[in-house]
Amino acid sequence: MTHLRSGANSGVELELAALGGRVTMVEAELVTAQATHDQLAAEVERLRVDNQRLRTRVDELTAQVEQLRRASKRQAAPFSKGMVVLHPRRPGRKPGMAYRRHARRPVPDPDQVSRIIDVGLPEARPHCGGALSVERMACQYQQDLPRCRRPRSAATTSRSAAASSVGDGSSPVPLSRPPSLGCGRRQVGPRAVALAAWASKGLGLPAGKVARLLGQVVITITPGRVTQALARAARRLQPTYAALVGGVQASPVVAPDETGWRMGGQRAWLWAFTADGMTVYRIAAGRGFDGATAVLGADYAGVLERDGWAPYRKFTHATHQSCLAHLLRRCDELLVDAQRGQAKTPHAVRRILQQALAIRDARDASRLEAADAVAWAERLDAAVDKLIAGRTAYPPNRRLLAHLAKERPALFTFLRTPGVQATNWRAEHAIRPAVVSRKTWGGNRTWAGAGSWQILASVLRTATQQHHDPIALLAGLLRAPDPAVAHLAIPTPVHGP
């Protein structure tokens, strides 16, 4: 019995030992599992913090992308630092010794003078009829662009007269003199001024490069004289600019657009109003309704092919066509950023707009009657109404539908009215050369310079639209007694100022 009991005890001890070993192993595994759990918990917490940080960063970058998208559509000077000098130096030449060297254009050689125009004196004094006597003779030279390589000059001989005594005992007094003597006796002709205006306002060259360009055709001129000549040309063409404004007001369809500009380093706006065969530019301090009415007039009753800028909707007498290209680009941007379940709304909007463009193409190709196109416009209006009445939780999609609700009456005017464009491409084409100039030199330094720019640029752009040689047309306008109507087809205003 003793032997059996000791053997049983030995088996129990062995089982207890084995059990103790397993307990120790389990404890080790528990320690390892706890360490792994703690490590994974720390990793999860780190990933949670990183995920929250990245979500915040994504929201910030998304807001910046949206801001940059909006700013890129109306930025003024891409290389501007955005800092405005509170007390800038006065532009132009400085008085006194700071003026530096005085420069004058040289008198042409006698063999370069192609013709002489003799300007005579009146037979008597215009007010009292007193006798006149020649006091002196002076020459005024005008150098113009040649039709060949050699420059052509014209000399104008003017007589300065003194009136003889008329019985009052006074000495003779000067009666008349040439309008420009001294530094002004050597002038630049209309063809040279036209070339300078085209190079400056049409191509965006600064005055220094325009002077170098004229120097290549043997017309010596300083940048300051270029600026003065262009300012005089703009003053001469003010009636033409006013006639163009009236022509835009008389046009049945006008495409307006605006973009950023710079005025002495501060923000301004460039407006472009394009009609059939003419364009009017205007530089204004603001981008509101007043800026548009300065050219169109508040009671304009034609059709406006415009983008979604809110002030255009204030033209209550006009019929509107919203630019579909802007809406399609907005849908494309939403589709690029959309995640799962967020692309349904922009896809639906894009399908409706593309269907409208397809109907327009079929009508213009005579595959669809105009009445059928109007019927299709009614169906598309109903599809837009159904889309607007729906709900979406994605904020960008809600903003898109809200914008469509505002533009709802102006979406398909081009299907109902022949001759109306579905986009404002004509205004954007007019803005494009101005943007090139803006990116070259940023804008204007003074409002007087802005006025010269808008007048000359409007005439040059209109000449291109009417298939005229801009230089020849501008030179003809500068020579014409009435520059408002010479060589340009301008309709009679019918919509009021």
Alpha-carbon torsion, ordered 464, 470, 472, 477, to 10 deg: 100
pLDDT average, residue stretch 70-95: 66
pLDDT of residue 352: 96
| Side chain identity at residue 21, one-letter code | G
Q: Which helix (H) or strand (E) holds 241?
A: helix 238-250
**For tokens 């000399």, what's the residue?**
155
User: Which position has the higher pLDDT, 460 or 16?
Assistant: 460
Q: In 3-state terms, what secondary structure has residue 396?
A: helix
Pick the most confident of 15-24, 54-63, 96-105, 184-193.
54-63
**pLDDT, tens digit, for every residue of 208-228?**
999 999 888 778 888 988 999
For residue 94, pLDDT beyond 60: yes
Q: Which helix (H) or strand (E) holds 432?
A: helix 425-441
- Pick from 327-331, 384-388, 417-421, 491-495: least confident: 491-495
pLDDT of residue 491: 65
- 240 Cβ neighbours under 8 A, 6+ residues apart: 455, 459, 477, 483, 484, 488
For residue 166, pLDDT beyond 50: no
Q: In what order do the strands lie in the sheet with 253-263?
A: 278-284, 266-275, 253-263, 303-306, 319-322
pLDDT average, residue stretch 250-260: 93
Q: Grade residue 494 by pLDDT with cuts at 50, 70 and 90.
A: very low
pLDDT average, residue stretch 50-79: 76
Structure tokens at 474: 């501008």
User: In this structure, are residues 438 and 269 in contact, taking their beta carbons and an 8 Å threshold?
Assistant: no
Q: Grade residue 176 by pLDDT with cuts at 50, 70 and 90.
A: very low
For residue 280, pLDDT beyond 50: yes
User: Which position has the higher pLDDT, 257 or 67?
Assistant: 257
User: Which position has the higher pLDDT, 295 or 436?
Assistant: 295
Dump the DSSP string for 154-198: EEEEEEEEEEPP-SSSPPPEEEE--SS-GGGGEEE-HHHHHHHHI
pLDDT average, residue stretch 31-49: 90
Q: Grade residue 128 by pLDDT with cuts at 50, 70 and 90.
A: confident
Structure tokens at 404: 């469509």
pLDDT of residue 146: 67
Helices 190-197 and 223-236 pack at an angle, to 10 degrees, of 100
Q: Grade residue 378 by pLDDT with cuts at 50, 70 and 90.
A: very high
pLDDT of residue 180: 57
Distances (CA, A) of 397 to 338, 346, 389, 411: 10, 7, 13, 18
Q: In 3-state terms, what secondary structure has residue 103?
A: coil
pLDDT average, residue stretch 275-284: 94
For residue 154, pLDDT beyond 80: no
User: Which position has the higher pLDDT, 302 or 109?
Assistant: 302
**For tokens 């994605």, what's the residue?**
394
User: In this structure, are residues 281 and 461 in contact, taking their beta carbons and an 8 Å threshold?
Assistant: yes
Structure tokens at 333: 């941007």
**pLDDT, tens digit, for every residue of 429-448?**
999 988 888 877 778 888 99
Within 13 Å, how many C-alpha atoms sit on residue 253's CB side?
19
**pLDDT, tens digit, for every residue of 310-350?**
999 999 999 999 999 999 999 998 998 888 888 999 999 99
Distance of CA 316 to the CA centre of its chain: 25
Instruction: Provide the residue ranges of all domains of the chain, joining segments of one domain with +.
Output: 108-187, 324-422
d(CA 193, CA 213): 12
Question: Mean pLDDT in the chain?
Answer: 83
Reference 135, options 178, 180, 167; nearest CA is 178
pLDDT average, residue stretch 456-485: 89
pLDDT average, residue stretch 473-479: 90
pLDDT of residue 157: 56
